[in-house]
Each structure stands twice: as C-alpha cells, then as structure tokens.
Amino acid sequence: MTQLHTKSLTDRKIYKLLIGSILPRPVALITTLNENKTTNAAPFSYVNIVSSSPAIISLSVKRKNHEPKDTARNILREKSFVLHVVDESYLKEANKTSKPLPYGTSEITNSKLTLIDSSLISTKSIKEAKIRMEIKLYAYLPIEKDNQIETDFFLGEVVMFHIEEGLLKDGKINKDLLKPIGRLAGNDYTTLGTTITIEREN
C-alpha cells in the first residue's frame, strides 16, 4: 500500500487526494446577500450535516490568495445564508454560478435561475431547488496554515426548510424524486445510481 506523509506533499497534491477519496460529496448551491443587496450564488461540495438537534450543517469556503471569497465575506457580515440541494433538474444552471464575477454582481444573471424571497432571512432563495434551507450562522472557525487563514469554516443552524410538494411523505424525503447530485473529482458529478440496503447491526 502506498504511504504518503502530508508534510512531503504539496497543497495541490493533498487536494487531489482528498477530493478523489472523499466521494461522492453533496453539492449545495449557496446564496448570500452582497453588500449592495444583490444576491451572490456559488456551488460548494465541502458541505455536510453536523447535528440534527440543533439542526446544524457545515460549510467550508477555501480562500483564494488568502482573500475570503464573496460567500464567506457575506456570511460573516449578514450572519445568514441559504443552502439549496442541487439536483439533476438544475445542475447545469447551478454550475453557471461558479463563473468568477466582480463583487456585487449577481451570478444569477449568468443563469436561468429564479430568485424568490426567503421567509426568515434577508437573503433570497432559488425557486428551482426542490429543497432549500434558510440558515443562520451558528459558529465561525478560521482555518490557518503558517499563520495565514486558508479556509473559512462555518457552522450554520437551519431555521426553515422549504420542500417541494410531493417530495415529503411520512416525514421522509423521497430520494428518487429528489434526484440529488454528488460531486466527484475534476469536472465529474454523479447521480444516485444503484441503492444498496443493509440493516444496521443491533
């Protein structure tokens, strides 16, 4: 078995090993409120569940040249954001929001996505998402290397779920109707594919 000590690897090599190993990863389209009140949108795959009581999710936003990305900057200022579960129906439009634009210019204008008001926070939501969550900032942790912040790590508390009609039955999400997208390495994504059911040991 190949053994690789992280101290002997470049950051890029470590990145490639991680994204090629930890997969598939959930894909979320995150909207935040720019300072000029326009809506920033960007897809992320460094997102996951942390706790259900309270309802906490994690979001990791890597900096570019040690500067925080617009998403991180907006969350730190507004203390809120919206998480949209990316599914097959709007993956291509969600991907269009990954194009770098000047701060204050909404990535939504580069897509066919539709903005709608949220219920409890000022940040707008995306109508096309079958599941979206309004989130308030719970905690923030700057992740440092060599005394410089490399990543902005957020814990967010879900304060409101929006779930498309017909998707929820007996309190459970129908995954086959949701058709969520998973992130692989490079430019690759995956659908649910085959489901394997195994009962947990008692």
Strands 189-190 and 182-183: antiparallel
pLDDT tens-digit map of 126-153: 999 999 999 999 999 999 999 999 999 9
Rounded CA gap, 88 and 134, in Å?
Answer: 21
Domain boundaries, the chain: 23-190
User: Which CATH architecture does the domain made up of 23-190 adopt?
Assistant: Roll (2.30)
| Whole-number pLDDT of residue 115 | 97
pLDDT tens-digit map of 146-187: 999 999 999 999 999 999 999 999 999 999 999 999 999 999
pLDDT at position 202 over 90: no
The residue-averaged pLDDT of 20-27 equals 95
E strand or H helix that includes residue 155: strand 148-163
Six-digit token pair at 157?
A: 């508390």
pLDDT tens-digit map of 30-74: 999 999 999 999 999 999 999 999 999 999 999 998 999 999 999
**Using the 8-state DSSP alphabet, how is residue 19 labeled?**
H
| Whole-number pLDDT of residue 104 | 86
DSSP-derived 3-state class of residue 41: strand
pLDDT tens-digit map of 97-122: 999 888 888 999 989 999 999 999 99
| Whole-number pLDDT of residue 2 | 94
Six-digit token pair at 12?
A: 């890029």
| Whole-number pLDDT of residue 148 | 95
Cβ pair 154, 140 in contact under 8 A: yes
Looking at the DSSP bridge assignments, the partners of residue 58 are 48, 155
Helix residue ranges, H only, 28-179: 70-78, 91-96, 175-178
User: What separation, in Å, do the N-terminal and C-terminal C-alpha atoms of the chain show?
Assistant: 33
**The pTM is what?**
0.94
